[in-house]
């Protein structure tokens, strides 16, 4: 049931994974804005991703011994895996931004901003595990109500509305990479929502 005592250490570890993803978003935004050279962003992102992997490993280890949580181990594992996938795709984005050597589409930053907002909402949903389990489902569903997909569609339409050349095609690929980040964020939210529904019966 949702009134089971939460494992606060596990909740903290899940928070730390989301924090790594947020760091990845901030780094990607600096690269897109030109505040950070793409090759430097790529190097820094490798370190962020390595730390994210370490935190993911600690989360999985803790899950192996966790037994009294409002959410099943299986769903928490899905949450952890999807959060890790978010950071992996952000790393791919920064790598491709460097490799493509293209003037970034303005839509990239607007999508990254929406991803950052979604991760903040995910943090609130994770906090509910320890603070108010009855709010887990509502808060996780709020993660789904973000602007990532809409901003992706608007940006792709604008990018391809003129002459389709190498620059526009490269930017479309970068936009698509961030759309995939949005999909992984939705999967993380679904894991929490599914777990809350299971334990409410």
Please write the tens of the pLDDT for every residue from 148-194.
999 999 999 999 998 899 999 999 999 999 999 999 999 999 999 99
- Distance between start and end Cα atoms, the chain: 7
Q: Does 1 reside within a domain?
A: no
Above pLDDT 90, what percent of the chain?
Answer: 75
Whole-number pLDDT of residue 59: 95
Report the pLDDT value the prediction gives residue 3, as an integer from 0 to 100: 45
Residue 74, domain member (yes or no) = yes
The domain spanning residue 116 has which CATH number? Answer: 1.20.58.220
SS (H, E, C) the chain: CCCCCCCHHHHHHHHHHHHHHHHHHHHHHHHHHCCCCHHHHHHHHHHHHHHHHHHHHHHHHHHCCCCCCCCCHHHHHHHHHHHHHHHHHHHHHHHHHHHHCCCCCHHHHHHHHHHHHHHHHHHHHHHHHHHCHHHHHHHHHHHHCCCHHHHHHHHHHHHCCCCCCHHHHHHHHHHHHHHHHHHHHHHHHHHHHHHHHHHCC
Asked if residue 146 belongs to a domain, the reply is yes
* Residue 8 pLDDT level (bands cut at 50, 70, 90): confident
Give me 175's structure tokens.
């936009």
Q: What is the pLDDT of residue 72?
A: 84
Is residue 3 in a domain? no
- Number of structural domains, the chain? 1
State pLDDT tens for residues 104-138. Answer: 999 999 999 999 999 999 999 999 988 888 888 88
**At 1, is the pLDDT very low, low, confident or very high (cuts 50, 70, 90)?**
very low
Report, as an integer, the average pLDDT of 34-57. Answer: 96
pLDDT of residue 4: 55
Residue 104 belongs to a domain: yes
Residue 2 lies in a domain: no
In a domain, residue 62? The reply is yes
pTM above 0.85, yes or no: yes
List of long-range contacts for 158-163, beta carbons under 8 Å, 24+ apart: 158/105, 158/107, 159/105, 159/107
Q: Are 10 and 62 in contact (CB under 8 A)?
A: yes
Q: Is the pLDDT score of 2 beyond 60?
A: no
pLDDT value at residue 131 = 85
Residue 148 lies in a domain: yes
Q: Examine the pLDDT at 39 and tell me if it is beyond 50.
A: yes
Range of the domain at 48: 8-199
């Amino acid at each position: 049931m949702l009134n089971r005592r939460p494992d606060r250490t596990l909740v903290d570890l899940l928070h730390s994974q989301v924090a790594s993803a947020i760091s990845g978003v901030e780094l990607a935004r600096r690269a897109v804005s030109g505040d950070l050279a793409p090759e430097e962003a790529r190097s820094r992102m490798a370190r962020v991703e390595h730390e994210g992997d370490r935190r993911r490993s600690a989360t999985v280890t803790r899950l192996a011994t966790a037994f009294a949580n409002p959410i099943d181990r299986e769903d928490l594992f899905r949450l952890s895996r999807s959060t890790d996938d978010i950071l992996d795709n952000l790393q791919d984005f920064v790598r491709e931004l460097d490799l493509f050597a293209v003037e970034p589409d303005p839509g990239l930053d607007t999508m990254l901003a929406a991803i950052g907002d979604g991760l903040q909402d995910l943090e609130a949903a994770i906090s509910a595990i320890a603070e108010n389990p009855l709010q887990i489902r509502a808060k996780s569903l709020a993660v789904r109500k973000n602007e990532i997909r809409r901003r992706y569609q608007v940006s792709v339409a604008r990018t391809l509305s003129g002459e389709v050349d190498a620059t526009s095609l490269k930017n479309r690929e970068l936009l698509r990479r961030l759309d995939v980040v949005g999909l992984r964020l939705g999967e993380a939210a679904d894991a929490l929502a599914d777990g809350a529904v299971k334990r409410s019966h």
